[in-house]
Amino acid sequence: MGLIEVLTRAAAARAHVLVAEVPGAFEERVALERALERMGWCIAESAADADVLAVVGAPDEALTAVADHVWAQMSEPRVRVHLHADSEAAALLNEARERLRLGARRLTGPDVRRGFTPSADAMAPEHDDQDGAAEHGDHHDHDGGHDHSAMMPDGIPLAEGAEDRDGLEMDELHLPLGPVLAHWPAGIVLRVTLHGDVVVGAEVEQLATSRAGQPDDPVVRAARLLDAAGSVLALAGLPAESARVRRLRDRCLDGELHDGHEVAQLGDRLGRRRVLRWILSGLIAEGSHGGSEELHDRLTALFEQARAELDGDAVRPVAPVVRALPALVRGMELAEVRLWVAALGPDLAPGLADHVMPEAAHG
């Protein structure tokens, strides 16, 4: 076995998968993550880090355009797959592994060494898996709505001059967050205006769900809450704790939790962790009516709400928090925005809006 073959096998054995989740495809996305863990694959943080793009659910035209844009940013060898049902996850990833190996061989074969590079279309056997970059290159709705002539080569808009609150001129950057982003709620697009790394303005859009009008049962709602807690822990730099919470989420969906006792126990143990409180300390969302919440308390509330769902004493949803999100994140640093949006993920999902933040203003 030659060196190229060894490297090809190693790359396929530890591939990075970027997930484009359609709102309403939560259980399918969880099935994909579980299959990834069994294979030893990783969740990609961005298109630059991804070998595989996995579209989960039935995307509408807007999300398809976003997926095409992300696909165009991925380097070869690359594979694009579409998961329609949770039972297909393992087979689909096995297929992706073989296609990834084939693509790597084509890129490192003798024809490439003589100067030939295979096209992306040659490695995408399905018509709807093709690039689509030319067709959607002018799509503005999900890339910040800016003139592409004022962008860097990788698609990030250049900063512009703007006046700061103290009257000094600062660089102003317009940046779209989501909908294809690790540990980010499905279907949420948050367009932020940054002075440095501080958000001074934001607009939010919620893409259409693939299952409109289908409310989740208490077990799925509990799993969503645990999933959000796992995302917060992952973004806080605690992967081991995040993995524990997600394993509990999986057991919840498998019907192995008959009440909320284990959820409450894990929430209590994590709540007493000094390192976690130190990481999340000072991250406060302040409401315009005088109310405020610390992120550590919000994390604790996720476990309490999940426990209540499993025990049958949860408070029913009242109103979504989506409309309050732009004011909520104003004044936050970008990393803090990621944490808060992850923590509010269940409230941003269609059909689950338990925890209602007042219309907020931060800073």
H or E segment and range at residue 195? strand 188-195
Q: What's the confidence (pLDDT) of residue 287?
A: 53
Q: What's the confidence (pLDDT) of residue 119?
A: 42
262 or 164: which carries more pLDDT confidence? Answer: 262
Residue type, 109: G
CB 165 within 8 A of CB 198: no
Determine the Cα–Cα distance for residues 347 and 330; give it in Å rounded to an integer: 18
pTM, 2 dp = 0.78
pLDDT digits (tens, 9 = 90+) for 64-74: 999 999 999 99
CB 68 within 8 A of CB 80: no
Determine the Cα–Cα distance for residues 186 and 262; give it in Å rounded to an integer: 27
Domains of the chain, each with CATH number or no CATH: 3-133 (3.40.50), 159-363 (no CATH)
Q: What's the confidence (pLDDT) of residue 101?
A: 85
pLDDT digits (tens, 9 = 90+) for 276-288: 999 988 888 865 4
pLDDT digits (tens, 9 = 90+) for 312-359: 998 765 555 788 889 999 999 999 999 999 999 988 876 443 333 433
CB 248 within 8 A of CB 281: no
State the pLDDT confidence band at 165, using cuts at 50, 70 and 90.
low
Q: What's the confidence (pLDDT) of residue 106?
A: 72
Q: Are β-strands 169-177 and 160-163 bridged in parallel, bridged antiparallel, or unpaired?
A: antiparallel
- pLDDT of 9 higher than 50: yes
Range in 30-44, 170-184, 201-215, 345-359 with the lowest mean pLDDT: 345-359
State the pLDDT confidence band at 168, using cuts at 50, 70 and 90.
low
- pLDDT of 161 higher than 60: no
Determine the Cα–Cα distance for residues 228 and 343; give it in Å rounded to an integer: 6
- pLDDT of 205 higher than 50: yes
In percent, the amount of the chain with pLDDT more than 70 equals 70
**What are the b/e assignments for 320-334, b being 16+ CB within 10 Å?**
bbbebbbbbbbbbeb
- pLDDT of 123 higher than 60: no
CB 320 within 8 A of CB 348: yes
Listed in sequence order, the residues at least 6 apart from 223 whose beta carbon sits closer than 8 Å to its beta carbon are 26, 30, 249, 252, 253, 306
